[in-house]
Structure 1
Amino acid sequence: MIRHTFATICIFTFGLLNARAAVPNHATITQAEVLKSLETQSPSWTATIRENRPRLYFSDTQWPQVVRELAALPAPRAALRDAFYSSMDKVVAEPPPEYLPPEQMVGKRGDTKTLYSAMEELWQREVGNQIFALAVAARLKPDAPYRAKMRELTLAAIAFETWGRNTSKMGNNADLAAGHIGRGIAVAYDWHRDAFTDAERQQIRDVIAARMPCLLKGLYGDAFWARGFEENHNQVSVAALAFCGIAFYGELPGAPEWLAAARLNFQRVADHASDDGSSVEGVSYWTYGMNYILQYIEATRLITDSADLYQRPFLKNAAAYRLNASTSGLTGNLPWGDAVTRDWSTPHAIIYRLASEYTDSDAAWFADNLPTPRGGADDRALNFLWARTAPASGSGPRALDHRLTVNDLVTTRSGWSSTDYLLSIKAGPTNRNHSHLDAGALALAFGDEWVLVAPGYGKGSGEGAFWQSGGSRWTYFSNATESHATLLVNGKNQRFDRDARATITGFFSSPDWNATTVDLTRAYSDVTSLTREVLHRRGDYILVFDTATATQPVTIEWLAQFRTDPIKPNSSTLLAEGKNGRLLTTLLAPAEQLTLREPTTPKVDVTQGRHFTYAAKQSGEALGFTALFQPVPAAKTTSALTTRVTGNHIEIFGEGWTDHLARSEKTSELRFSLTSDQTTAHISARLAIIRTTSAGIVSFIALDAASINLPGLSRTFGAPKNLTGQRNADGTWTISQ
């Protein structure tokens, strides 16, 4: 039975604070500045709105062209259209949802495991999604039963007692559930006014008039997301203000203020977004938030200047970020923070929209080659709606390495096919919304199968303490430093103040190599310096050098994390095997065994038997670790590498080749131990690796090099350079720098 409650006011009670992440240091949007902005904008808005119905996304004069474009969708995009109608037919056949208060929803869904999580009423998001999607379907096929179902769900939604509850000053109807339902109702009302009787339209207006002010008060400072312009809660919630502001403009007195507030908010979103296109919240929440940023722009661009946001760098770089955050083969994504390694909602719609806006054929290739879409009903609608204007596919990605210059994250891979591997190196801030204390962590996947892992979303997320980023959040194993493949100093978590972070200080990419250096000092207490340097010889191995100094003795643990418990083929090596490949891990220095380590944080919130930590430790004031990873895809029968370590010299023996490494604290003359039948090499650099075969010296990498003298190659540099060289058959060299 549906309980009918029409005009529900904002209810504010004080209890457990719904604190999420450390509050950003941004200014709250005030009503005074919104009203001042409204004075400037309202004349043009009023005139434009008077001339357009519908007002959201497309006008009546634009719809015929939209219909023609959708009818002409080529493969594989036409399949998105067919999948959409199939999903809508299933929605039509379902009974309308019954409203149950949070107390009765506990345990009924994955997002209502506890009363704390049930209070958010996140199950209502899909109701709003379906209303939106049915409005699209009814616009395209007015004779189908979609319009009647849209009306039924809209009337059901306005009868819900609340659209999300909260016991802090934020109050009810002020977060994600309200964002989804408000958006859906706005589109249904704007596009299909005559689907509702006069009395029903009044009921809709009454509920919208009562509940949108709850979101507005949240934006003015009552919600935890008010200043979180980089966060999905802000972007989703405020988008509903924009949708309703336009749909009800001229009918509800508050609507112009809602629209003006949303406009200022999304300008702040752009101001505080990362220019590299990424999100501090990680890939999963990037998809959620970016979807609503684009929906705001597209839904309001008939009326406002929202399309100007496309000139901002964060949108211009967004498609490249999401591509490079994909595993090789494109079926998975990076595991950092509160993430899942496969999207809740695949980003087809986002990438198609960006490809259309920037005429980006590479982005179109990415969208066309993504796996089968997943997500809500609204995603299925936007997938094909935004695919209609995307250019033809390009040739696909060419770069194998990618660096985020704002959020400090690197991906380096052997290739882009599902049989290739990806290594990710995590830096950036430690304490942002949905982040973990994972500075310097490594993760490696073969295809979409993560073998060297990060824990992702912990099972404690249904508890209030999980979100208290000032302290108790870090008592959960999934969020703590010890669950990530990084370093643990004196058994303590990394710092979680707002200034705590790791910074990428060196990045070099060439066809055969990637070299990345991360300064971890500001992420830790008790050390004066801490650096991680990663060298990736593409297709062969990964070397990791960690160096720490302190003013008094410290104990540092070197951590590796695996999905399955590795075996030990010998006393010094761990072998982690997956379906798609195997990873050999050897600690070269100190010559210690990696041993199984049990969690020490109070709350272990990962699945038993699905996360294994191995560690080695040493103590002192000047410490270093050197580790070797050898990734071997399942299709290859490559033998395990062998090594010889002598101080700052390492020899790595492969099948038919030997790599000779020498390193120093700063650029200096490096000496190599080469056999008598090979020409002596002279390289002045901080680190260099020479590869020899039976043909002699065949390639090299030199970091911070001052001079190179090899057979057929002699160069001196005025300033230190990073470069690699490959010797050609005629004795000349191909240099990358």
Structure 2
Amino acid sequence: MSGTRWSQLLWGILPLVGVLSLQTAPIYGYYSDSAEHPRLLCTAAELDAVRARLHSGYEQIAYQRLLEKCDAYLDPESPHYVNWPERTNLIRHQGGEVNYWETRPGAWMLTKRYEELAWAGVLSGEQKYIEGARNIVMTIVRERVIDGIGGDNYGQPYDGWLAQPLDAGHSSRALAVFYDLLYDHLSEQERQEVRDYIVHTYLAYLYPYMQETLDRADYPAILGHNMHLIGNAAGGLLALAVYGETGLPTEQEDAWVELFFDGVHKGLQIGLGVDGAGLEGPGYASASLYYGSFLIEAMRRAGGPDVLSGPPNPIQRTPYYYLYEMRPNGEYFNNINDAHFDAHTVFLPLFASAIDDPALTWLWDTVEGHRHDGQNVFGDTWMTWVADLPYVLLWRGLAPSAVSPDDLQFPLSRQFTRRGLVSMRSSWQEDGVLFSFLSGGQPDRGHSQFDANHFALYAGESTLAFDTGYGAGETKDHNSLLFDGQGQTVRCTEGRITAYEPGEIATYACGSAGDLYGNPTLRLFDRHVYFVRGGHGPYAVIYDEVEADGEPHSYTWLLNMSDAARLELDGEYPLVVDESTGWEMHVTLFAAADLEYAQIVNEFRRSRIAAVSTNRQLQAELTTAEAPAFLALLYPRRDDGVLPRVERINAHAVRVQWPEYTDLVAFGPTQTAEASTDGVGFVRTPSPGAN
């Protein structure tokens, strides 16, 4: 890919395309060139090309693991055996033991297994895998397993796979792949049974549901919720799988395809924002992208719009959100919103191929490519919800050779406006530092948290300033500010980054959150941040500009730490230490008055039925009628790196003196012996005699 092309995607040199403007006029008559199966995601010739890659590299590892898993699915002595004759497989789920043939987990446990078996069959030519996939699917179809699904979900009665579009999608996307891949291995009677099941069970549910969505008061915002995205993506893939073979009028089949694709196309743009950041967090966004990528690719192959290779759009920009929010050591991503660190990534090589960007290949290689020992192979485990290995085989070999963003000279900071996110890095090296700043930008519908003006800091393999992640949605669970002991109460669906200045050495950003506390006495809470690179750095400086009503109030500055870190409070300033990695973070914190430091155990729950989780938290509190004027310098270091002399110049500026130079970091007018600023600014002055 040319440098111009990926820079357009990253930085919006081309005009951003609105949610609705990408929608094309309906295209009727799909598969006009060839309707031969397989057709959804590959052709027979492309399967031959995949087979030719199975004997080396990533493909050899993924293929061997795929066959290992599929052998276990067919072995009655294996704990992973799929017992289709008796329809009984017991697993641990949400604290209890359930039969996944009768409960919610079957929506992904069954489908993933027959999808992998189908791929193993067509790639190896071994009939046992094809028979295994057929036996599971035909049992589901003929025994109407879907009618007996019940049990509980998070402590509430569960109404089955068709209770909402999320599990309708989970339980059906693989059916489209099965039908397409094994078309020539099924009898006409079996094909008809599967087609009827698709049309009269899944399309009969999903199509009316999504039609009614058009009349909802929250349309089109609701399309961005992962629940609707996954339902639409599965519906569209099912419709294309059986397109031209249902015996129904072409107009009906076209209507299915158009409605579902329109839902995914709009929904991804709504759920990702104009510049591609996952509003529900990296986990849920990646699930939507996983499902959406199948339909997007299938539509291109059917003769529909080419979303990935077409004009720059938010969907193409999304992999760069993951690139900039990747943890330095490649252990997945910054876990903002309801998220854990991990996420689905198998679509990244598809994007890399379509966009022709080697940095996206590098991203997948860095995050997943090293995972091929033990339980996790390229992001796939026995218990993950979706099939990854077949798509490593299908897509990784098509991607351009990996090149790191450092070698491509990618800028080291990136703003995601709709998400209210600024990602600032020292490099993409494994011992680099990521400083991520978040303000506002919650999704219109879906998972959200009260986390405005929160920051996270990762150094190498250490998490030194921590987002507590999934289920920990209160302000107290984030590195933000409490006002009179209370956090935010107002959900904000707009990005609140009010200033952003990317610099080669120092990047500045500001977020505004005062009105999100629902308290009229708090009139302003603007958090200003600088991330400074180079020399002995990197380090971050954070200044809280706060205005209240002139009465005494308590203010609590929060810093959450992972379990691997410990907090030391016996020095002049707090110190965060990760002994397992050798990293530490010096927290030089100033305020308008003396601070009371406390180390507490923060408690939260991941879900309604989960046990209490905990993490260490630093609280720095003061009570004042004036502005609290918190001003913090966070300096991560290891191997006895140089410690600077840090001096507060005024309420909003620090002087950071190193042996070779002195930095002035100011958030308002400031004068020192070396430098001055008229307002917000950064100045680096060489020391006398320094080379």
3-state secondary structure, aligned to 2:508: strand
3-state secondary structure, aligned to 1:45: coil
The residue that corresponds to 1:63 in the other structure is 44
Structure 1 residues 263 and 655: alpha-carbon distance in aligned structure 2, compared to 1, 3 A threshold: closer
- What is the Cα deviation at residue 575 of structure 1? 2.9
Is 1:274 aligned to residue 273 of structure 2? yes
3-state secondary structure, aligned to 1:507: strand
Is 1:559 aligned to residue 558 of structure 2? yes
Whether the 8 Å CA contact 1:337–1:434 is kept in 2: the answer is yes
Q: Take 1:185 and 1:284, find their aligned partners in 2: how far apart are those partners?
A: 24
Whether the 8 Å CA contact 1:229–1:268 is kept in 2: the answer is yes
The residue that corresponds to 2:10 in the other structure is none
The residue that corresponds to 1:96 in the other structure is 82
Structure 1 residues 392 and 657: alpha-carbon distance in aligned structure 2, compared to 1, 3 A threshold: closer
- What is the Cα deviation at residue 317 of structure 1? 1.4
The residue that corresponds to 1:588 in the other structure is 590
Whether the 8 Å CA contact 2:358–2:400 is kept in 1: the answer is yes
Q: How does 1:440-519 map to 2 (within 5 A)?
A: 440-458=453-471, 478-497=472-491, 499=492, 501=494, 503-519=496-512
The residue that corresponds to 1:13 in the other structure is none
3-state secondary structure, aligned to 1:548: strand
Q: Take 2:262 and 2:652, find their aligned partners in 1: how far apart are those partners?
A: 57
- What is the Cα deviation at residue 388 of structure 1? 2.5
Structure 1 residues 541 and 154: alpha-carbon distance in aligned structure 2, compared to 1, 3 A threshold: same
The residue that corresponds to 2:182 in the other structure is 192
**Deviation by residue 1:684-714 (Cα, 9 ceiling, x = unmatched):** 4443444442426xxxxxxxxxxxxxxxxxx
Structure 1 residues 84 and 503: alpha-carbon distance in aligned structure 2, compared to 1, 3 A threshold: same
Select 1:155's aligned residue among 124, 138, 143: 138
- What is the Cα deviation at residue 532 of structure 1? 0.7
Q: How does 1:88-167 map to 2 (within 5 A)?
A: 88-93=70-75, 94-97=80-83, 108-111=91-94, 121-158=104-141, 159=143, 160-162=145-147
Q: What runs of 5+ residues in structure 1 fail to find an aligned partner?
A: 1-25, 29-33, 459-477, 675-680, 697-728, 730-737
Q: Take 2:663 and 2:19, find their aligned partners in 1: how far apart are those partners?
A: 54
Whether the 8 Å CA contact 1:111–1:118 is kept in 2: the answer is no
Q: What TM-score do you get using the length of structure 2 for normalisation?
A: 0.80
Select 1:645's aligned residue among 644, 648, 659: 648
Q: Take 1:95 and 1:644, find their aligned partners in 2: how far apart are those partners?
A: 65
Whether the 8 Å CA contact 1:45–1:303 is kept in 2: the answer is yes
Is 1:52 aligned to residue 2 of structure 2? no
Larger-Rg structure? 1
3-state secondary structure, aligned to 2:40: coil
3-state secondary structure, aligned to 2:448: coil
- What is the Cα deviation at residue 70 of structure 1? 4.8
Q: Take 2:138 and 2:219, find their aligned partners in 1: how far apart are those partners?
A: 29
Q: Take 2:50 and 2:31, find their aligned partners in 1: how far apart are those partners?
A: 30
Select 1:358's aligned residue among 355, 360, 363: 355
Is 1:369 aligned to residue 366 of structure 2? yes
Whether the 8 Å CA contact 2:281–2:336 is kept in 1: the answer is yes
Q: Take 2:19 and 2:103, find their aligned partners in 1: how far apart are those partners?
A: 26
**Deviation by residue 1:207-229 (Cα, 9 ceiling, x = unmatched):** 33123322223323479998532
The residue that corresponds to 1:322 in the other structure is 322
The residue that corresponds to 2:224 in the other structure is 230
Structure 1 residues 671 and 225: alpha-carbon distance in aligned structure 2, compared to 1, 3 A threshold: closer
Amino acid at match of 1:593: E
Amino acid at match of 1:533: H
Q: How does 1:562-711 map to 2 (within 5 A)?
A: 562-564=561-563, 565-580=566-581, 581-590=583-592, 591-597=594-600, 607-620=612-625, 622-633=627-638, 636-638=639-641, 640-648=643-651, 652=655, 656-657=659-660, 659=662, 661=664, 663=666, 665=668, 670-673=670-673, 681=675, 683-695=677-689
Whether the 8 Å CA contact 2:165–2:227 is kept in 1: the answer is yes
- What is the Cα deviation at residue 485 of structure 1? 0.4
Whether the 8 Å CA contact 1:219–1:226 is kept in 2: the answer is no
Whether the 8 Å CA contact 2:462–2:578 is kept in 1: the answer is no
Q: Take 2:287 and 2:85, find their aligned partners in 1: how far apart are those partners?
A: 25
3-state secondary structure, aligned to 1:218: helix
Q: Take 2:644 and 2:299, find their aligned partners in 1: how far apart are those partners?
A: 58
Amino acid at match of 2:511: V
Whether the 8 Å CA contact 1:571–1:593 is kept in 2: the answer is no
**Deviation by residue 1:520-544 (Cα, 9 ceiling, x = unmatched):** 2343333222211111222243211
Structure 1 residues 134 and 646: alpha-carbon distance in aligned structure 2, compared to 1, 3 A threshold: same
Select 1:178's aligned residue among 168, 171, 175: 168
How much identity, in percent, do the aligned residues show?
19
Select 1:244's aligned residue among 238, 244, 252: 238
Amino acid at match of 1:351: L
Whether the 8 Å CA contact 2:424–2:436 is kept in 1: the answer is yes
- What is the Cα deviation at residue 455 of structure 1? 1.0
Structure 1 residues 99 and 70: alpha-carbon distance in aligned structure 2, compared to 1, 3 A threshold: closer
3-state secondary structure, aligned to 1:368: helix
Q: What TM-score do you get using the length of structure 1 for normalisation?
A: 0.75
Select 2:440's aligned residue among 428, 451, 464: 428
Whether the 8 Å CA contact 2:506–2:682 is kept in 1: the answer is no
**Deviation by residue 1:562-606 (Cα, 9 ceiling, x = unmatched):** 124411241432333252311122321234132135659899977
Whether the 8 Å CA contact 2:431–2:461 is kept in 1: the answer is no
Q: How does 1:396-415 map to 2 (within 5 A)?
A: 396-397=405-406, 398=409, 399-415=411-427
- What is the Cα deviation at residue 637 of structure 1? 0.7
Q: Take 1:606 and 1:299, find their aligned partners in 2: how far apart are those partners?
A: 42
Q: What runs of 5+ residues in structure 2 fail to find an aligned partner?
A: 1-17, 372-377
Whether the 8 Å CA contact 2:269–2:314 is kept in 1: the answer is no
Amino acid at match of 2:207: L
Whether the 8 Å CA contact 2:229–2:292 is kept in 1: the answer is yes
Structure 1 residues 101 and 505: alpha-carbon distance in aligned structure 2, compared to 1, 3 A threshold: farther
Q: Take 1:579 and 1:489, find their aligned partners in 2: how far apart are those partners?
A: 35
The residue that corresponds to 1:382 in the other structure is 391
Greater shift, 601-610 or 685-694, is seen at 601-610
Q: Take 2:242 and 2:402, find their aligned partners in 1: how far apart are those partners?
A: 39
The residue that corresponds to 2:194 in the other structure is 204
- What is the Cα deviation at residue 151 of structure 1? 0.5
The residue that corresponds to 1:8 in the other structure is none
The residue that corresponds to 2:4 in the other structure is none
Structure 1 residues 617 and 264: alpha-carbon distance in aligned structure 2, compared to 1, 3 A threshold: same
Structure 1 residues 529 and 682: alpha-carbon distance in aligned structure 2, compared to 1, 3 A threshold: closer
Q: Take 1:606 and 1:363, find their aligned partners in 2: how far apart are those partners?
A: 37
Q: Take 1:622 and 1:101, find their aligned partners in 2: how far apart are those partners?
A: 65
Q: Take 1:457 and 1:519, find their aligned partners in 2: how far apart are those partners?
A: 24
Q: Report the number of matched residues.
A: 621
Q: Take 1:95 and 1:404, find their aligned partners in 2: how far apart are those partners?
A: 45
- What is the Cα deviation at residue 148 of structure 1? 0.9
- What is the Cα deviation at residue 682 of structure 1? 5.5
